[in-house]
Structure 1
């Protein structure tokens, strides 16, 4: 509490938060509707509600991440692989056995290969000399996988990328491994556009509140900024008695609370009258 602002309890150091412009605009509107200079208090109220009512935060966080990934997913690209008939039959039969597509299997094959390319030069050069490649199989893969295959193949000559694709595929056919698990974990993965939150704000948090936020973030494998975006969405969806909560956040000291709250009520009444 200070002499210039009796009844207010100073808060701690600022922390940087980022929101998308629409969410920031909605928060600004909500804060402005409560009173002047209420944005920081609104954010702290949202944070307090989150850390004191953490039920289902993990579920909401997972859903928010899933929706974000769906919005930012980069479309798959098509590749055509030339195979000999016997290999093509094995490929399609393996897909049928696991009730999936050849594209899903190829994404797994590329993921495994790019994780551990090993000694691929000579197998790739032998594949480049292979004949009898009368079957064409079209597969959909992530653009980043295609680029990495082209880069690795390009180290050893031109027009070797298709041969390297066959190397990756033959490794999968020879050693399928835990395909069931990879079909759940690896095949659905997509390249993602960067997540951009262009609206930056600095909000002062007192140490106990900041520590509780950090503890919750650590428990959920998250961070302050991500949790605060979730907290903002929750308060926008269900504001409840947000005006009272924000004003209580500002005037947390008991000293002069009643006259300060009364003054705020008079100011709000004047603002509403003027807006009419």
Structure 2
């Protein structure tokens, strides 16, 4: 094996794991600040959004350089492709975390809704999914990746419960402020569901990296989600505002 490729791919793995750790840290911090209604902390995280964007661009450039110079095949090629896809998912999660921070700031202006405990439960599961998918990446552990994929259904169920609660309470809302708080709550739940989808994407990419198995379509059909997961260049559509 080309030792230059080994060195450069090792550096790329270090970069993606560092980005993953930073995204995970930001998600945890923003969820905690949202629960505590700490608007100063939320504003500070929003101001740092470009850091994740810049990091994502650097990793993509590293991947493209390796593809051009070394033309890897087999598992080496799968590794570079997986890093490119995971890099994209991490950047998307970073964007969604900023969305949650923005909505958390706006939610802080209203009384706490009865749906907040369910929302925080959903956030806790999504955090665990992301952490487990990143552990699976670090250890190349397919079993752990598959466990993440299974939990996506749990997030979808909680999202449905939050939406149902929002609809039920909206019919009783007697002020515009209550209605706005419910809309923001629904938006945060939707954001968390999308992060769960991205964590699932990462887990699926780990399985692809380890043994070349593409399980994305199988899992979407088994979970009952409409349609198949988007191709890598279409994943942005998951995060429409």
TM-score range, shorter chain: under 0.3
- Relative to its length, the structure with more helix (as a share) is 2
Larger relative contact order (C-alpha < 8 A, sep ≥ 6)? 1
TM, length-normalised to structure 1: 0.23
Structure possessing the higher radius of gyration over alpha carbons: 1
TM, length-normalised to structure 2: 0.25
